[in-house]
Structure 1
Amino acid sequence: MDLDAYVAEHRAEWLRLEHLLSRRRLTGSESDELIALYQRAATHLSAVQSRAPDPALVGRLSRLVARARSTVTGTSAPSWLTFARFFTVGFPVAVYRAWPWWCGVATAFSAVSFGLIFWFGTQPELASQLAPQSAIKQYVEQDFADYYSENPAQDFAAQVWTNNAMIAALCLFSGILIFPVLYVLVANAITIGEVGGLMVAYGKADIFFGLITPHGLLELTAVFVAAGAGLRIGWSWIAPGPGRTRAQAVAEAARAAVLIALGLVVVLAISGVIEAFVTPSGLPTAARITIGVTAFAGFLAYVFVLGRRAARAGETGDLALAERGDLAPAV
């Protein structure tokens, strides 16, 4: 390659590209010209690098192509701004838009759990059939309360967070099949109902509710949100709605579920800290419950204030149009 001849042939194009890049506003035809010149400059850079890699010319063209690429593709928002937007818009609006699902899950779960608590609690002879009398006595008088303090608080917090995160993840990502989510919910509702019924039947209702309420309100709400979002994915396959294919409906619900999953990592971490440090603490029961109720109410306020505001502004919690990929026309 005759480098001098190559520069002489294309120098005018590079200068024109530099001129367009220096302007703050372009007309439609000038924008098209800029894109075309950017593509040519990128080709020129590749040719120079492979045939006559002059350092000065490669450096000049590299800077020119980088500036043009930034102008054509746009710049990304700073990471801190993306992070802040996720927690002020993306996560709360995704949870808010799914509220009929997770509120429905919470209602059904509570009905089963409290129904079993009442059933076993008012029939001690039925509760005694769940396990030998000695084992039940050991559990209600010592093991239930000891569970929250038998391990170091930081280790217990990590264990609780991991367990709850796995349950939430199972509810979210098996939602397309629906039945695994229902199985997890029913199994946990029965467990809470049986344990609570035993504690009530043997006169330990104050210990049961005093220990489970501080962390349970926020923890179970996070599980309800995960289950609701998961079931929403499954239902979008069954009934995608007008104007959407099943694949489009599932993709939209799944993208929202991923946002919810990321946000629930923080919510479950908070509930894990409460369970490890507040539930077994020496604080009065009223104080521990107040902390739990405050965290629960704060989460609901966060979702329904920020989420509703974002929804009214037209936010959906979904990716931007340019990030969703292209869709083939469908009837």
Structure 2
Amino acid sequence: MDLDAYVAEHRGEWRRLEVLSRRRKPTAAEADEMVLLYQRVATHLSVVRSRTPDPALVAELSRLVLSARAAITGAQPVDWRRVPRFLAHDLPLAFYQARRWWIASAMCFLLVAAAVAAWVIQDPTLPRAFGMSEADIDSLVNHDFESYYSENFAPNFGLLVWTNNAWIAAQCLAAGVLLLPVAFILWQNALSIGMVAGLMIDNGRGDLFFGLIAPHGLLELTAIFVAAGVGLRVGWAWVVPGPLLTRGQSLAAAARQGITGAVGLVGVLAVAGLLEAFVTPSFLPLIVRDAIGLVVWTLFLAYVFVLGRRAERAGELLLAVDGPARGPAGQSLPVAFKAR
């Protein structure tokens, strides 16, 4: 196919579609013309991709097709009526149904961190094997660990913490489908926390370590564990889809809940960031700061287990009353499909 001749032949239609897709209020005739041109240009894009895949032309036509599609379908308004249901039903259900995965992740993480801390206390030469000198250890124990929470402007520090934790959570969620990368991410963080904990305890600063970690760390680490659990649940849905669904259907159902969990974790990590930026370095007594962190963490767990369990039971009741939903091939679908 002569690409130049093809472009010259259809360039007028492409320009016309671009003009129509930019109209804020097209007439009925223009809307009909836009739909027709959209179908033609989509065909042109398919032809170019299959016969002469010129990258620049493919990118131009792809952009044009997407713009026209958006103009034809129109922007979907935000349905704010969904927000209460999302917060009271969808989000706690997503966290609750992944509870076995994130509780198991938390237990493994804490066991590794505790084992590393005990090893450091038992063998003081271990940090040197990881490249830490005596000066590094002394600086960490007597200055760096405590000053980390107060050396930066609180709002900037909170944003930095939120960004870092959100990145770790996003990695856990995205890598969950492959399972093993999540274990590696948790392993790295457990080694780091265990090493610092061991050094602080071995040098008589264990009270400071736990006192500064508790206000934000309870919620922060739990959010990371939840991200890992949700991600692992998505991956396991692909490995073991169950007797009723194909691998694709099982993965899609778990991934939808995973997206719900990812959206909710943005808010949870934001709260953890606020605690770390404003409560942890505050002048309140250490026990008061720890109590604030414990209360917030308890409220989060109550939110997940009370509302999540209620949402799951509501789905089971719906399934019992209405009967099983049916998939494309007539097979029964689980509650996660039916509830939506």
Please give the TM-score of this superposition, normalised by the length of structure 1.
0.72
Secondary structure (helix, strand or coil) at the match of 1:186 reads helix
Secondary structure (helix, strand or coil) at the match of 1:86 reads helix
Does the C-alpha gap of structure 1 residues 93 and 212 become closer, same or farther in structure 2, counting only changes over 3 Å? Answer: same
The residue that corresponds to 1:104 in the other structure is 104
User: 1:138: how far off?
Assistant: 1.1
Supply the distance in 1 between the matched residues of 2:316 and 2:81 (Cα, whole angstroms).
Answer: 17
Does the C-alpha gap of structure 1 residues 133 and 48 become closer, same or farther in structure 2, counting only changes over 3 Å? Answer: closer
Supply the distance in 1 between the matched residues of 2:101 and 2:140 (Cα, whole angstroms).
Answer: 35
Q: How does 1:72-151 map to 2 (within 5 A)?
A: 79-127=79-127, 129-130=129-130, 131-151=132-152
Supply the distance in 2 between the matched residues of 1:236 and 1:207 (Cα, whole angstroms).
Answer: 42
Supply the distance in 1 between the matched residues of 2:314 and 2:96 (Cα, whole angstroms).
Answer: 13
Supply the distance in 2 between the matched residues of 1:120 and 1:166 (Cα, whole angstroms).
Answer: 28
The residue that corresponds to 2:261 in the other structure is 260
Does the C-alpha gap of structure 1 residues 126 and 310 become closer, same or farther in structure 2, counting only changes over 3 Å? Answer: same
Does the C-alpha gap of structure 1 residues 330 and 312 become closer, same or farther in structure 2, counting only changes over 3 Å? Answer: closer
Supply the distance in 2 between the matched residues of 1:47 and 1:302 (Cα, whole angstroms).
Answer: 53
Supply the distance in 1 between the matched residues of 2:118 and 2:292 (Cα, whole angstroms).
Answer: 26
Supply the distance in 2 between the matched residues of 1:286 and 1:115 (Cα, whole angstroms).
Answer: 26
The residue that corresponds to 1:53 in the other structure is none
Q: Pairwise CA RMSD of aligned residues?
A: 2.5
Q: After TM superposition, where is structure 1 displaced by more than 6 Å over at least 4 residues in a row?
A: 47-50
Supply the distance in 1 between the matched residues of 2:211 and 2:31 (Cα, whole angstroms).
Answer: 72
User: 1:81: how far off?
Assistant: 2.1
The residue that corresponds to 1:36 in the other structure is none
What are structure 2's unaligned runs of at least 5 residues? 1-26, 33-75, 318-325, 332-340
Supply the distance in 2 between the matched residues of 1:263 and 1:176 (Cα, whole angstroms).
Answer: 19
Amino acid at match of 2:92: P
User: 1:329: how far off?
Assistant: 2.3
Supply the distance in 2 between the matched residues of 1:220 and 1:284 (Cα, whole angstroms).
Answer: 23
Does the C-alpha gap of structure 1 residues 313 and 141 become closer, same or farther in structure 2, counting only changes over 3 Å? Answer: same
Amino acid at match of 1:180: P
Q: How does 1:157-306 map to 2 (within 5 A)?
A: 157-306=158-307
Supply the distance in 1 between the matched residues of 2:210 and 2:232 (Cα, whole angstroms).
Answer: 29
Amino acid at match of 1:202: N
Secondary structure (helix, strand or coil) at the match of 1:213 reads helix
Larger radius of gyration: 1
User: 1:144: how far off?
Assistant: 0.7
Q: Structure 1 vs Structure 2: percent identity of aligned residues?
A: 49
Supply the distance in 1 between the matched residues of 2:223 and 2:282 (Cα, whole angstroms).
Answer: 23
Deviations 1:219-259 (A, max 9, x none): 00000000001111111111111111000111011100000
Supply the distance in 1 between the matched residues of 2:31 and 2:90 (Cα, whole angstroms).
Answer: 43
Supply the distance in 2 between the matched residues of 1:137 and 1:49 (Cα, whole angstroms).
Answer: 72
Contact preservation (8 Å) 1:245, 1:330: no
Deviations 1:253-304 (A, max 9, x none): 1100000000011100000000000111111110011011111100000011
Contact preservation (8 Å) 1:124, 1:202: no
User: Which of the pair has the greater relative contact order for Cα pairs under 8 Å at 6+ separation?
Assistant: 1
Supply the distance in 1 between the matched residues of 2:242 and 2:253 (Cα, whole angstroms).
Answer: 12
What are structure 1's unaligned runs of at least 5 residues? 1-44, 51-75, 317-325
Supply the distance in 2 between the matched residues of 1:167 and 1:47 (Cα, whole angstroms).
Answer: 51
The residue that corresponds to 1:56 in the other structure is none
Deviations 1:154-176 (A, max 9, x none): 00000000110111011001111
Secondary structure (helix, strand or coil) at the match of 1:242 reads coil
Supply the distance in 2 between the matched residues of 1:229 and 1:115 (Cα, whole angstroms).
Answer: 25
